[in-house]
Amino acid sequence: MKLKRILAVAMATIMVMGMSITAFADEPATNGTSEGAGTSEGHVEKKATSVILPTIASGTTPFAYTMDPEGLVVATAHGKYGNDVVFPATGDTHVYFDNGDDASGKKQYLNSSAAQTVINKSSYAINVTVKAEAVASAGGKDIPLAAKADLTSATAAALYLGLIVGEEDAVEITDTAATKTVKLDGTPANFKVAVTSTGNAYEYRELTLTEYKALDGNSSKTQDDFDATWANVDFSVEGATTENLAIAADTTAPKLKVTWSWEEAPTDVAPSIATTTYTLTANAALNVPVSLGAGSLAATGIASVKNGASALPTDAWSYSNGVLTFTAARVNSIANAKVSRTYTVVFNDTAGTSVDITLDGTGN
């Protein structure tokens, strides 16, 4: 019995040792490889365009008007038009635009046209341009146009028309059209990246009212509040005539034509000159490319070129179509002296942007 136990223990020991020897016989792994395909979640263009322009019903126009230089409407207490028509109670300037019905349901004539509104519901800024012009009647008997300030001193009947855009002063319509451009900012805060209704793609879209109200501080906001967040501008035309000056029976009034349009506003960029050091070549003019900038920071030209505090004479340089040109004579004056000159180019933008450029004539 004792012998059997000894044999059993011996056999177990041999088996354990054999297993241990087998385990240590395999070499450990020293490397590994795995490949995974790369994919893209996609791209969403974060630029949304929606501009609401005035809609004029067919056969109607807010810009039709009646002029009354002789003050007949006021003199007769509007009797020709009856009690269901309302005219300006005070400050009547004798040019009347149909503004539709007032709160009481009466037709309302005012001295300016009903406001038309452009709303920018885009994520980016736009420029809105409104143009108003007087189109002469075929018969050649239109009342003359005059500046508003000249009406009180005029000795003959005259008509004033002015374009109003936003809160700015009216632009007078003369023999040439009145034009005004204003910038309407975009409202990117009113948009979000979201999963489409199909659930398998992305989109950049306007917030819903519920999403807008979920923003901090907006819980009590209404649809009107949300609508008011979009940038907008109103435009109209005002009119006036001289006071109590007679016109001929066949005197006519010019047609009023108003057009409006929009385009994406350029990014505001100040004027600049990319290359500011030039090596001169004798007997050759030097052309320097310049940028007038863009948007509200842009210049329309170069105001001056200075050598220290002194302005360079205008016969030494010129500007045209994005190029500042120094004449060959100016180049020679530097090259022949074998010196370098630093000039300050001053743009005519509001900020008066200036850039120093160096003309090197030492190598000639």
CATH number at residue 284: 2.60.40
CA distance 89 to 350: 43
Question: Domain range for residue 214?
Answer: 188-225
Same domain, 160 and 255: yes
Domain assignment present for residue 27? The answer is: no
Residue 116's pLDDT band (cuts 50, 70, 90):
very high
* pLDDT band at residue 25 under the 50/70/90 scheme: low
Q: Are residues 295 and 334 in the same domain?
A: yes
Same domain, 57 and 145: yes
Domain boundary among the residues 208, 242, 264 is at 264
Q: How many domains does the chain have?
A: 3
Same domain, 260 and 170: yes
Cβ atoms of 51 and 119 closer than 8 Å: yes
pLDDT in tens, 58-86: 999 999 999 999 999 999 999 999 999 99
Contacting residues for 322 by C-beta, under 8 A, at least 6 apart: 289, 290, 291, 292
Q: Is residue 7 part of a domain?
A: no
**Is residue 166 located within the same domain as residue 198?**
no
Mean pLDDT to the nearest integer, 84-111: 96
- Distance, CA of 357 to CA of 260 (rounded, Å): 42
Q: Are residues 136 and 218 in the same domain?
A: no
| pLDDT reading at 23 higher than 70 | no
| 239 falls within a domain | yes
Confidence check: pLDDT of 2 > 70: no
The rounded distance, in Å, linking the Cα atoms of 326 and 285 is 6
Q: pLDDT tens for residues 222-270?
A: 999 999 999 999 999 999 999 989 999 999 999 999 999 999 999 889 9
In single-letter form, the type of residue at position 4 comes to: K
Q: Is the pTM of this model over 0.85?
A: no
